Amino acid sequence: MAGIGPGYKGGLLPKQYSEEEITEGLMAMITWAGNASAASRYLKSQKQIELPAVTLNGWKTSHAIRYDELREKYSGQVEAALAHELRDSAMQATQLTQLAMRKATERLESGEEQDPSRAAANASRVAQASGDKLLSITGRPSKIVETRNVQEVLRSLAAKGVIAIPEAEEAAVELTEGNEGP
C-alpha cells in the first residue's frame, strides 16, 4: 500500500511499503486495538518505522483478510496482555478506593463530613461490590440458588432425621409429585 513520498502531487509520489512494514503496521494496529494514532506513535518510538495513522487506518480495510488472520493468530497473546492490564487497573482502582475510604473515615472522625449518611451509603456500596468481586475472583458463589422442589427438600430432611413424615403425608408427597393415585 502506498503512502505519500517524493514524486507525488507537487513533486511527491506514492511511497511503497515493504511486506515487513505492512506486517509491522498491522501488528501495531492489533496491539493498539485498532487505534491508528497510538499504533503510529508506537511504531515511530519503538520500531523506528514512520507510518502515518491514515495509512494504518487504510490498511485495516485494504489488507482486511491479512489483518483478521493476524488478529486471530495472536488473539491469545493480545487477550493475555489485556488481562494483565486489567489486573493492573483493578489494583490501582482498589488502592484508590482504599485511600478514599481512609480519607472519608478521617473526615467522619474529625467531624468535617457534612453528610455522614451519604458517606455511610457510599461505604456500604463499596463493601457490597468488594465482597461480590472477592467471591467471584476466589471462585466462591455470590448467590445460593435452590433448585429442588418442596417434596425433594422434605424427603432430604426426613432422610437426615431432621423431620419425620407420617405415612399418610409421605403418600401425599408422592401423589403431588407424580399426580398419580396409589
pLDDT in tens, 109-142: 999 999 989 988 988 898 888 888 888 888 888 7
73: Cβ–Cβ under 8 A, 6 or more apart, which residues?
A: none
pLDDT in tens, 13-37: 678 899 999 999 999 999 898 999 9
pTM as predicted: 0.49
4 touches 14 (CB < 8 A): yes
pLDDT for res 176: 61
Q: Distance between CA atoms of 85 and 72, rounded to whole angstroms? A: 20
45 touches 59 (CB < 8 A): no
pLDDT in tens, 32-89: 989 999 999 999 998 899 999 999 999 999 999 999 999 999 999 988 888 888 889 8
